[in-house]
Amino acid sequence: MTQTAYCPALLVSAPASGQGKTTATAALARWHVRQGRRVRVFKTGPDYLDPMVLERASGQPVYQLDRWMAGDAHCRQLLHEAAQTSDVILVEGVMGLHDGIASSAALAETFGLPVLAVIDGSAMAQTFGAIALGLATYRPQLDFFGVLANRIGSDSHATMLQESLPDGIAWLGALKRDADAALPSRHLGLVQADEIADIDARIDRAADAFDAINPPLPAPIAFAAPTLEPLPRHLAGKTIAIARDAAFAFIYPANLDCLRAMGAQLAFFSPLADSALPECDALYLPGGYPELHLDTLDANDAMRDAIQKHAGASKPIVAECGGLLACLEALSDADGKTGRMLGLLSGTASMTKRLVNLGMHSVELDGEVIRGHSFHHARTEVTEPAHATTRPERLNGTPEAVYRKGSVFASFLHMYFPSNPAAVARLFNGV
């Protein structure tokens, strides 16, 4: 492995959420792929849905970059590895450029990433320039590459926005408002990419706009290799069965890499379609949308029996968010429809139309801290005692209960395994 790798890179951010960062990043990634370039895309912060779209756009897996959740050394390792095999690296920001306890701006400064700001110009004129100026100068050390106007109405509108920019702020062009290129959403964010029948056509349509823009590549950036010790093989000889289908799809690629690096063999199964578990020593039930598949989950008695037998044999089960909901006795959607779940924990849950919890969280288990995040629209009525509670990292955040019953470990916390591999290994070893 080379000690320093060089690759052009760009962090795509915005003044706020909802400005069109994902569409713009996906379009830019697809456009570069069309030019014959090898493109790697990363997503800042905890997110499962945007990366699904970005993976389709680039043809490569999308990893998270988050300085709080993952640590600088881990982020540096991911960027260094990508730089060795890529022609361009794109990083989609999270929320607004300067928002959060580990902001996109801080990430950009730490790793020397120039910033492209996507600004929704649909309802503004000269104020566009004021916003661009604020983004560019609020953090003086930031390398501000330029701005891209999004959702404009006409060529004359684009000209007006361009003319509003102060000297020194580069105009990278404009994307017009286009319903045929927009990405549909639901209560947790974008609809999963595999559920959008014309996802590639939408990305291609958005990418077409860059043919006229012909965006320049930024200068190559030096990505140094961190000094990291190999992970101890705490899971050597273990097979972990992982639920992965339309109901349980919220899985960080880095989590899978972490398990493999500790020696685990991974076997995937579908709680929706399969009637039996793979031969395994432990189960991982990640988050997702079980509330959208109540009838299928309710009707799959064979899978319910198989997982109950697994738990009855005192084999570990690690469940998070949607996995927690699946471990309860019953789950109701926001319209009141109810389905039977696995019955591993006493209690029920119901979906709400409003957000219940959101934020970065950590949990301390036997003196070891695992980091991650919480994001859900579910309320639970659980009669099991809480084994622990998470610690929210933002002011006035709401802690989440963590349950341990027999071999079952479950909570709303989406854990980022590389934040503490040894502690995660203990969960899958049932310790």
What pLDDT score was predicted for residue 188? Answer: 63
Average pLDDT in the chain: 94
Structure confidence at residue 395 as a pLDDT band (50, 70, 90): confident
Q: For every residue of 305-341, which 3-state class applies, written as one string?
A: HHHHHHHHCCCCEEEECHHHHHHCCEEECCCCCEEEC
Is residue 55's pLDDT more than 60?
yes
- For residue 116, pLDDT over 90 is answered with yes
Sign of the dihedral through C-alpha 192, 195, 199, 200: positive
Tell me where in the chain the CATH 3.40.50.300 domain(s) lie: 4-224
Q: Residue 195: which pLDDT band, with cuts at 50, 70 and 90?
A: confident
Residue-wise pLDDT for 198-241, tens only, equals 888 999 999 999 998 999 999 999 999 998 889 999 999 999 99
pLDDT at 1: 55
pLDDT digits (tens, 9 = 90+) for 4-23: 999 999 999 999 998 999 99
Which residue from 416, 170, 166 is spatially nearest to 287, judged by alpha carbons?
Answer: 416
Helix (H, G, I), strand (E, B) or coil at 78: helix
**Whole-number Å distance between alpha carbons of 375 and 69:** 15
pLDDT exceeds cutoff 90 at 186:
no
Cβ atoms of residues 32 and 132 within 8 Å = no
Q: Is 321 a catalytic residue?
A: yes
Parts of the chain belonging to CATH 3.40.50.880? 239-428
Question: Which CATH superfamily is 4-224 part of?
Answer: P-loop containing nucleotide triphosphate hydrolases (3.40.50.300)
Multiple choice CATH, 239-428, 3.60.15.10, 3.40.50.720, 3.30.530.20, 3.40.50.880: 3.40.50.880
Of 92-106, 238-252, 338-352, the one with minimum mean pLDDT is 92-106
Alpha helices (H) in 59-126, listed in sequence order: 72-85, 104-111
pLDDT in tens, 93-104: 999 999 987 899
Q: What is the pLDDT of residues 56-75, one digit of tens each?
A: 999 999 999 999 998 999 99
Q: What is the dihedral of CA 137, 139, 142, 147, to 10 degrees?
A: -40
With a pLDDT cut of 70, the percent of the chain lying above it is 97
- Cα separation, 388 vs 400, in Å, equals 9
**What value does the mean pLDDT take over residues 260-283?**
98
Return d(Cα 289, Cα 246) in angstroms, integer: 7
**Using CA atoms, how far apart are residues 23 and 208, in angstroms rounded to an integer?**
12
| 241 and 277 Cβ atoms separated by less than 8 Å | yes
In the predicted structure, residue 267 carries a pLDDT above the cut 70 = yes
pLDDT at residue number 66: 92
- pTM for this entry: 0.93
Q: Which two tokens stand for residue 119?
A: 């600004």
pLDDT recorded at residue 397: 84
Q: What phi and psi, each to the nearest 5 degrees, are found at residue 63?
A: -105, 160
Contacts of 223 (CB under 8 A, 6+ apart): 4, 5, 6, 7, 76, 79, 80, 82, 83, 111
